[in-house]
């Protein structure tokens, strides 16, 4: 189960939007770019309807010397509201010494942070990881409990899907043996598939696997994505 796990390799950006005047316009591209999870705490944006996700400026827009990067796509990340507000204008005074908040494009995040599915906690492995964990309060009690609850729910729903798939195989066998009529088989299959769709939707929502709508390459004749 990859839920809440940190990536082992660096992320290479796949989206190439044109330069927009407002950084907020990049949000949909970043959501697709980073598979709808917060790049820092790994929470999916689909796990609750009222989650506030937005655009994070890795090099903070509140620091004057980074003003030219406000709408630079390479400086922007998809981020939940909690991590965004806690990160704020954090930047090391000594850029050589750090410490830095780790991001998936410049760092192999799994080398700095490790998620323990048995405890729901994120364990820092380096000074950068410790700084990230402490600054963003990644292990606050409510968040840890949320992770444990989510993992449990996904496990329960995954087991439910396996059970429903087994039931489909069982009634198919009954039909082959002539133990149930075709009409009963079709009604049972329809009911089981409906239940399976609900369970899969819950798993997708809480794991961040809900499909995203396709990004438009043009709008009103204006090219939105660079070729």
State the pLDDT at residue 157. Answer: 96
Residue pair 31/133 in contact (Cβ under 8 Å)? The answer is: no
Given a cut of 70, the residues of the chain with pLDDT beneath it are 1, 49, 218-227
* pLDDT per residue as tens digits for the range 85-134: 999 999 999 999 999 999 999 999 999 999 999 999 999 999 999 999 99
Rounded to 5, what percent of the chain is helix, strand, coil? Answer: 45, 10, 45
pLDDT for 151 equals 95
Terminal-to-terminal C-alpha distance of the chain: 35
How many CB atoms lie under 10 A from the CB of residue 87?
20
Q: What is the pLDDT of residues 5-16, one digit of tens each?
A: 999 999 999 999
């Amino acid at each position: 189960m990859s839920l809440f796990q940190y990536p082992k390799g660096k992320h290479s950006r796949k989206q190439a939007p044109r330069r927009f005047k407002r950084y907020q316009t990049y949000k949909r591209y970043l959501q697709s770019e980073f598979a709808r999870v917060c790049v820092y705490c790994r929470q999916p944006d689909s796990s609750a309807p009222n989650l506030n996700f937005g655009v994070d400026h890795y090099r903070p827009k509140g620091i004057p010397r980074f003003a030219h990067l406000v709408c630079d796509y390479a400086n922007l990340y998809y981020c939940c509201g909690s991590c965004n507000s806690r990160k704020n204008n954090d930047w090391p005074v000594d850029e050589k010494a750090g410490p830095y908040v780790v991001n998936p494009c410049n760092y192999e995040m799994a080398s700095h942070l490790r998620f323990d599915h048995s405890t729901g906690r994120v364990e820092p492995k380096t000074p950068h990881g410790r700084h990230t964990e402490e600054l963003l309060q990644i292990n606050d009690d409510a968040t840890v409990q949320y992770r444990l609850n989510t993992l449990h729910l996904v496990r329960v729903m995954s087991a439910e899907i396996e059970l429903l798939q087994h039931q489909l195989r069982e009634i198919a066998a009954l039909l082959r043996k002539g133990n149930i009529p075709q009409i009963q088989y079709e009604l049972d299959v329809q009911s089981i598939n409906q239940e399976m769709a609900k369970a899969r939707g819950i798993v997708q929502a809480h794991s961040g696997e809900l499909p995203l709508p396709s990004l438009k390459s043009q709008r009103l004749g204006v090219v939105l994505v660079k070729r």
